[in-house]
Structure 1
Amino acid sequence: MLFFRSMSGSTLRRVRAALFVGTVLTTASLPYALSSMAHAAADDSASLDMLEKQMARIQAQQMELQKTLVGMQKQIAAHRAALAHNGKGGSLHHAGTAHTQPEPEDSSEWAEHEPPHGSHTATAMNTRAPHHAAGPDAQPVFSGIDDKPDVEAVIGHRAEDIISHLAENGVGPHPRETVGAQAAGALGDHGVFHMGPVSLILGGFLDASTVLENRHVPSGTFNYWQAMPYPNESRYHTNNFEGSARYSRISLMARGNVDAHSTISGFYEMDFGAGAATTDAYESNSYAFRMRQLYLAYDNSDINFHFLAGQAWTMLTPGRIGIIPRQESLPETIESSMLAGQTWARQLQFRFVQDFFKHRLWLGLSIENPQTLYDTTGFTNNSGTVQLPNGKIATISSNGTGLTNDAPFSNEIAPDIIGKVAWDPSWGHYEAEGILHFPHDRVSSLGAGHNNTAIAGGGGGSMVLPVIPQKVEVRLAGLAGVGIGRYGSVLLPDATLKTNGEPAPIPSVQATGGIIAHPNQRIDVYGYFGYQAAGRRYSNYGEGAYGYGNPAYSNLGCGIELSDLGCTANTRSVMEATIGAWYRFFKGKYGTVEAGAQLAYSRRDAWKGQGGGPDTSMSQIFLDFRYLPFQ
């Protein structure tokens, strides 16, 4: 250490250059050495073992060179910090090389964005000179709590996953091993193929999950909280067990360098979460293949510009670093609906992002596909055609036709407009966001009609706090506004109707908080609390009651099994508290095998009407078994 600190800036650069040249020479000799050994092993099966051992030694030598480079970068950073603290200058480069040419930009990029030692991720993806790991399983398998893969051991694979340059914020991208990365669409380590200038990267997992709950909600591990029954339903009084492999997932990314500064990529992620018309739970359980994400992305490292087009997680979804895809901050829960109050949607979008100040400040604008989730309690709704008390007709949606499924699609006049700013200081990740939405319908009478458009929207934010970097982090997120309830996991309504047929956006608020710990590479432990609520929007016309949360609605029969006294019970709020853990008990060349368990408690409260405001609750136990062949 004293030796490194005594070096001048020019000497450090010369040593680093020598190490780089050594690495290049070692790599350059590989084709000849491997080719010679392959020929020698052609007729001697025993030589195949020698070939494998020699490859392992070469990989180990490369690893040592990489570790040495990382160590020198740390010494440089420490020396710069010491000089700045002592008032001797702000940079080792300026202190020791006043009359030399500055280093190339690419060289400084690696030192500037180097992650902390022991990190599972690499946060400096230089697309100008991508590095590929020497083997498909370069990282060590678990041999102890403190045995973590060195940064440079996985940087080749991570370069395939993250394309943008990122600033070190103590949070970093998703560690590839965590379930959070899997939920966001992490790609594989082993399934990397190169076809000329294009790289293909496989990802995904085989999943078998079950849930045991004290209420019968026939939605499997996807929680549909608004279907939680009140005591007037028989489903309230019986337990339910259900299991499925339908949320198994596969993903594919193709990427290539357009030029020295820009990269284009395409990402496709699929599962079997859809239920086809022929799906049944009695025999075949033939759930349908569905598109989760499908988008192309363009990243330019010269002007720090990023573009995305296609179906992806909405930009309202909380992130953990920058504003980039596949780094969404999603709960590690087993339930496929994730968490009550979680902000998310997957939909078509055109996203434009620019980053500043060495990748610390990010500004994003996204034009996204709109939909309005209406509640028409009190009205007569016939497939999107709503009978108004004044005799007119309001058309709020139409069922899909042609190649579109036979389900309601709301009338929309303009896309949702979403803006976000993200800040990555040296500690933590912080976001602020806003959205504009435009509910739209048409009111018709015989021979005449007019259109109505309301203005809705809201704002919110999120943060990730690395309490103990790479070990413990706290996540907080929230969104509030009017007409944006569909962006929460509970799917509370966006709007109802006034008695004259105009859209009436409903106020809503949603929030989540969680603590996530990684005691070692084998274990993820988490605890979350989520909450989502909708306000009242109602009106009366003569003796009729209309809208959402109208106090004139009858809730008299909500507490009596099979009662015919009425139970309107518009949902006021849903909360969920949950804890769980994941344990990875196998990891190697064959991939990763892990199991998870989760306990969850949910509560649903209704707006008060005649007979009060009923409530119901549900307790659940989730179990999951997962195999990730590419990680």
Structure 2
Amino acid sequence: MKFSVAQRAILIAAFGMAAVAPAQATDDRAEIQALLARVKALEAKVAKQDAVARRSKAGEAPTLFVKGPAPEPVGEDSFHFKGLTITPGGFIALESIRRSNWLGADINTPFQNIPYGFQPAGHTDEFRFSARQSRLALKVKGDLDPLNHITGYVETDFLGAAQTANSNQSNSYNLRMRQFWWNVDNDTYGLHFSAGQTWSLATTNSVGTKIDSYLTPPTIDAQYLPGFFWSRQPGVRISKDFNKEFWVAFSAEGSAQTWAGTPALISNNPGWVGGPFSSVTTSSALWPAGYAGPFVTAAPAGGGLFNAANNYSFNRMPDFIGKAAWDVPYLPDRKLHIEGFGIVRDFTDRSLWGNQHAWGGGGGGSVILEVVPKLLDVQAQGVVGRGIGRYGVLNDAAISVSGAPLPITERFLLVGATLHPTSQTDIYGFYGGEFQNKNAQYYGANVGGVTRLVVGGYGSPYYSNWGCNAENEFAGAATPAPFTGTACSGNIKDVRQATGGIWHTFYAGPAGKIKAGLQYSYTWKDGFWSYLGGASSGHDSMILTSFRYYPFD
């Protein structure tokens, strides 16, 4: 901390007034220099006291990594430019992950792709080192006037993977935009407006609906864990707070749809079903000749700044989200945060030469409770709806037997606790899961004089699980006679995970923070039961480590 010009002038005047009479005969220049030296000494003393206070607040262990006297502070956490306060952020990370099944994934785990037993990848493990979660961030704050305040924020990492990205020799991965938004706060009416790319309003907040108070599980895995309801996407948001305790907010956010594939033909065996039906088939087998089937995505047109190697879903409108949050004055020394939200979505496909639509959406809520101040926090979240899978790890919708979109009913659950045994250590444990409902469809059809039971929808027991759990034996072959179809075509029923870990801060002071983390997780993936092959399941055991340096904290 340094004294301003005015503060220096006051100190010099005070010292000078105390010595006016006897000092008039002395050399004025020598006296001024002596007074300036005393001011410098006071500045150094105050700066040291500030550094000690900051280290004490951060819980620094001053003897760890530090030999001799503590280093002098190098300056403030922020700097100023044209009336703006600019604060850098981010961290440098080296992380690792070891999986019991090979997924071909970096530090983020696609939990829905945990292999079943028929896949060779399900019988070999995987290890990765990664520095790609290293993060760069910058926050800019300023005052438009005494009652209106503006904030801008950008945050990036290196988890992008362009066509030239590789892990073979150069380990080249591109910078990726995580967040890029601006926000205006009005003190008079408690209004807040933001625009840009940020965490979805549906993501749990820790304070009201503040745009920068999102609460993520403390996992090393960049995909967090199943059951965590989240997205980062562009949009616009407006919110209102009532005395900083009760908040309401509404947002319109960029949308996308993810789709479950349509299983292939199940059986052509007369008598397989019994009763009036002589065979079973999926509706895709009855589509008109030359018809390629419903379209749910398409490649982008050239020149639109989308990657031509990817397909994009048909979007007619944004996702609309509303939320209410209450920061309850539970006890003077404890925190209780409660929130609830609702979401509305639209699904579109192109089927039988026409556009077909379906509405989806749902709602849920979260609770964060400080059970023991500065020692134990617990949190829980639950969400239920139709067509909300992309906010987790599963799909939004399937194709109905008519070719129209069929939003899948899904439930999210997340519970967890974080223990703070010391100011330097956090120990956490979480359980999360995503559970999708079966929505199988059936109807009878006469095709070429053959009465068939046509099946479709999501989770039908007629979809084959014959080869899901046997390595190679059925992987490349059709289901054995008298049945036909693919060896493992059933849909996913649920994905669940139990995880726990520890973070420890080895150093916190004027040079930033040094932290290390260790996480273990066990994940279950289950398919729906089938008449042909029973149930299918996959499992993965993972160990993750992280070593991070936060130079700006």
Same fold (TM > 0.5): yes
- Distance in 1 (CA, whole Å) between partners of 2:311 and 2:439 is 22
Residues 50 and 591 (structure 1 numbering): CA distance in 2 closer, same or farther, change over 3 Å?
farther
Measure how far apart 1:31 and its partner are.
Answer: 5.0
- Distance in 1 (CA, whole Å) between partners of 2:407 and 2:12 is 69
Residues 240-273 of structure 1 show CA distances to partners (whole Å, capped at 9, x for unaligned) of: 1111100100111112100111111111100000
Aligned partner letter, 2:357: T
Q: 1:140 aligns with which of 41, 45, 55?
A: 55
Q: Which residue of 2 aligns with 1:305?
A: 191
Measure how far apart 1:528 and its partner are.
Answer: 0.3
- Distance in 2 (CA, whole Å) between partners of 1:287 and 1:425 is 44
> Is 1:314 aligned to 2:200, yes or no?
yes
Query: What aligned pairs does 1:522-601 form with structure 2 within 5 A after superposition?
Result: 522-540=424-442, 542=452, 545-564=455-474, 565=479, 566-601=487-522
Residues 464 and 48 (structure 1 numbering): CA distance in 2 closer, same or farther, change over 3 Å?
farther
Q: Which residue of 2 aligns with 1:285?
A: 171
Contact map agreement 2:465 2:535 (CA 8 A) in 1: yes
Residues 411-463 of structure 1 show CA distances to partners (whole Å, capped at 9, x for unaligned) of: 1212111010001111200001100001112224xxxx432221111010001
When you count strand as a share of all residues, which structure comes out higher? 2
Aligned partner letter, 1:318: T
- Distance in 2 (CA, whole Å) between partners of 1:246 and 1:602 is 23
Measure how far apart 1:30 and its partner are.
Answer: 3.6
- Distance in 2 (CA, whole Å) between partners of 1:515 and 1:143 is 22
Q: Which residue of 2 aligns with 1:430?
A: 338
Aligned partner letter, 2:405: P
Query: What aligned pairs does 1:252-263 form with structure 2 within 5 A after superposition?
Result: 252-263=138-149
SS of the residue 2:286 aligns to: coil
Residues 199 and 230 (structure 1 numbering): CA distance in 2 closer, same or farther, change over 3 Å?
same
Unpaired segments of 5 or more residues in structure 2? 14-28, 63-74, 266-282, 331-335, 444-451, 480-486
> Is 1:236 aligned to 2:224, yes or no?
no
Residues 259 and 145 (structure 1 numbering): CA distance in 2 closer, same or farther, change over 3 Å?
closer
- Distance in 2 (CA, whole Å) between partners of 1:51 and 1:575 is 63
Aligned partner letter, 2:502: A
Aligned partner letter, 1:578: T
Residues 373-419 of structure 1 show CA distances to partners (whole Å, capped at 9, x for unaligned) of: 11122269xxxxx9783325422221234311231211121211101
> Is 1:511 aligned to 2:413, yes or no?
yes
SS of the residue 1:57 aligns to: helix
Contact map agreement 1:443 1:451 (CA 8 A) in 2: yes
Residues 567-604 of structure 1 show CA distances to partners (whole Å, capped at 9, x for unaligned) of: 12321001100110011111221110110001111111
Contact map agreement 1:388 1:394 (CA 8 A) in 2: no
SS of the residue 2:171 aligns to: coil
Larger deviation: 513-522 or 574-583?
Answer: 513-522
> Is 1:617 aligned to 2:525, yes or no?
no
Q: Which residue of 1 aligns with 2:286?
A: 389
Q: Which residue of 1 aligns with 2:212?
A: 326
> Is 1:352 aligned to 2:255, yes or no?
no
- Distance in 2 (CA, whole Å) between partners of 1:335 and 1:50 is 53
Residues 512-558 of structure 1 show CA distances to partners (whole Å, capped at 9, x for unaligned) of: 00001222221111000001011223335746643321211111111
Measure how far apart 1:500 and its partner are.
Answer: 2.1
Larger Rg: 2
When you count helix as a share of all residues, which structure comes out higher? 1
Q: Which residue of 1 aligns with 2:246?
A: 361
SS of the residue 1:586 aligns to: strand
Aligned partner letter, 1:55: E
Q: 1:476 aligns with which of 376, 380, 384?
A: 380
Aligned partner letter, 1:54: L
CA RMSD after TM alignment: 3.0
Provide TM-score, normalisation by structure 2.
Answer: 0.80
Measure how far apart 1:222 and its partner are.
Answer: 0.7
Aligned partner letter, 2:494: S
Measure how far apart 1:197 and its partner are.
Answer: 1.1
Query: What aligned pairs does 1:2-13 form with structure 2 within 5 A after superposition?
Result: none
Residues 52 and 323 (structure 1 numbering): CA distance in 2 closer, same or farther, change over 3 Å?
farther
> Is 1:58 aligned to 2:46, yes or no?
yes
Residues 505 and 52 (structure 1 numbering): CA distance in 2 closer, same or farther, change over 3 Å?
farther
Residues 143 and 459 (structure 1 numbering): CA distance in 2 closer, same or farther, change over 3 Å?
closer
Contact map agreement 1:334 1:623 (CA 8 A) in 2: yes
SS of the residue 1:258 aligns to: strand
Q: 1:269 aligns with which of 155, 170, 174?
A: 155
> Is 1:404 aligned to 2:290, yes or no?
no
SS of the residue 2:361 aligns to: strand
- Distance in 2 (CA, whole Å) between partners of 1:35 and 1:246 is 53
Residues 53 and 521 (structure 1 numbering): CA distance in 2 closer, same or farther, change over 3 Å?
farther
Q: 1:465 aligns with which of 344, 369, 378?
A: 369
Residues 465-502 of structure 1 show CA distances to partners (whole Å, capped at 9, x for unaligned) of: 110122211000111100111111x2x11111112221
Q: Which residue of 2 aligns with 1:247?
A: 133
- Distance in 2 (CA, whole Å) between partners of 1:228 and 1:35 is 72
Residues 52 and 452 (structure 1 numbering): CA distance in 2 closer, same or farther, change over 3 Å?
farther
Residues 472 and 52 (structure 1 numbering): CA distance in 2 closer, same or farther, change over 3 Å?
farther
Aligned partner letter, 2:261: T
- Distance in 1 (CA, whole Å) between partners of 2:149 and 2:132 is 34
> Is 1:213 aligned to 2:99, yes or no?
yes
Measure how far apart 1:510 and its partner are.
Answer: 0.7
Residues 241 and 34 (structure 1 numbering): CA distance in 2 closer, same or farther, change over 3 Å?
farther
Q: 1:604 aligns with which of 519, 525, 530?
A: 525
Residues 496 and 260 (structure 1 numbering): CA distance in 2 closer, same or farther, change over 3 Å?
same
Aligned partner letter, 2:54: Q
Greater RCO structure (CA 8 Å; 6+ sep): 2
- Distance in 2 (CA, whole Å) between partners of 1:408 and 1:327 is 33
Q: Which residue of 1 aligns with 2:323?
A: 420
Q: 1:496 aligns with which of 394, 398, 414?
A: 398
Contact map agreement 2:58 2:509 (CA 8 A) in 1: no
Contact map agreement 2:108 2:221 (CA 8 A) in 1: yes
Query: What aligned pairs does 1:434-453 form with structure 2 within 5 A after superposition?
Result: 434-444=342-352, 449-453=353-357
SS of the residue 2:329 aligns to: coil
How many residues end up aligned between the 2 structures?
A: 475
- Distance in 2 (CA, whole Å) between partners of 1:143 and 1:551 is 56
Contact map agreement 1:279 1:285 (CA 8 A) in 2: yes
Contact map agreement 1:145 1:520 (CA 8 A) in 2: no
Contact map agreement 2:60 2:507 (CA 8 A) in 1: no
Residues 238 and 325 (structure 1 numbering): CA distance in 2 closer, same or farther, change over 3 Å?
same
SS of the residue 1:318 aligns to: coil
